Amino acid sequence: MLGPVRNPKAPIGVFDSGVGGLTVLTALKKALPQEDFLYFGDTARVPYGGKPLSMVRRFAWEIAGFLLREGVKAIVVACNTASSAALPDLAEDLSVPVFGVLEPAAQVARGYRKVGLIGTQATVHSRAYERYVDLSWAKACPLFVPLVEEGLWDDPVALLIARHYLEDAPEDLEALILGCTHYPYLKRTIQEVLPRVALIDSAEATAGKVAEALTAEGLLNPEGRGQVVHYVTGDPESYKALGYRLGEALAEAGYGVVTGGGPGVMEAVNRGAFEAGGVSVGLNIELPHEQRPNPYQTHALTLRYFFVRKVLFVRYAVGFVFLPGGFGTLDELSEVLVLIQTEKVHPFPVFALDRGYWEGLLSWMAFLKDQGAIDPQDLALLTPLDTPEEVVAALKAVS
């Protein structure tokens, strides 16, 4: 069993791949106005629906672990795909109550004779709903989630796509389960295509089940203020905050930091180290479109060529931490891994922070291994981590 001791005053954790779970959060706040919530939107990896269930299951365990570390008293998996992939295992293995959205929706659907389901490819193909209710028709609608994430649920294109997906729905269909928490945003559009069909949204049913269970468990919060703290994995500002915490943690542990000296995440790392009183070095590159070196450096050097900066990085580093970035970051990462792999430099640890952002690259590296393009031991050259504290602990372990 995993998880902390239950505390009625602790918040309730809620997670989804993006904004869809906010429909569940809204219903929860209405049903439980005194409860505090932590909402986790995994926007860096949205949508879940086209990904293998094994991968989504891993995402769910990672997020549940984060929420447990934040001290939640219960977890609501506000995502149909994650509920299909990770339940009932999460509920069986965690020591806090865990709620999904499938069973509450299915309970409502059992009041109708002919029931249909629309959802992501993963949810529909898992046939998880059929554990709870007989279905007459099911259809995967993979474009609905991107429409909602882009705020286009009332756009004419949404109606065109809905007609395309729903054109073969049975004429005598009585009810349709909206098998993705993004889909309630499209209720009006879906209802226009299927005007005589009852649309079943799991949000209210899930909120009712959570309220009932917390009451029975004695976990209702008598002193909560209805506050919500939001976490996301794909927001640039969250990466800056991560960079700042990394620079601060490294400086406090006695390590100096060396960055590219520019704006954004680089500036955040330099600032964290600088304001913690540590050594903060910036190696800036002269570029026509680049901003000036950031002001949070104890030592600054401006260079004309990228290869010179790479030499300096490799020559003086005791470890590399790669934060979310673009082509330049990928260029630095690949060069460092090749130099270590070919034993052209002394080996040092290389970390990818945070794990969620780099999931695609890590999966691709595993694919390269399966294809024989790299050796199995090469996968160990890059270590994914989630927090600056883990980076510091890992560095100390190899020092």
**154 three-class SS:** coil
Please say whether the beta carbons of 105 and 12 come within 8 A: no
Q: How many Å apart are CA 258 and CA 241, to the nearest integer?
A: 17
* Among 382, 353, 356, CA closest to 250: 353
**4 three-class SS:** coil
Note if 141 is an active site residue. Answer: no
Q: How many Å apart are CA 260 and CA 249, to the nearest integer?
A: 19
Q: How many Å apart are CA 195 and CA 171, to the nearest integer?
A: 11
Report H helices in 253-385: 265-275, 306-316, 327-341, 359-370
Q: How many Å apart are CA 327 and CA 397, to the nearest integer?
A: 30
* Among 64, 70, 71, CA closest to 7: 71
Q: How many Å apart are CA 27 and CA 206, to the nearest integer?
A: 8
CA angle 118, 121, 125 (to 5 degrees): 90
Of 12, 27, 76, 79, the active-site residue reads: 79
* Among 141, 117, 140, 142, CA closest to 47: 142
- Dihedral angle sign, alpha carbons of residues 81, 87, 90, 96: positive
Of 85, 96, 180, 321, the active-site residue reads: 180
**175 three-class SS:** strand
* Structure token digits, residue 132: 């709870």
305: left (phi over 0), alpha (psi -120 to 50) or beta: beta
Residues with a catalytic annotation lie at 79, 180
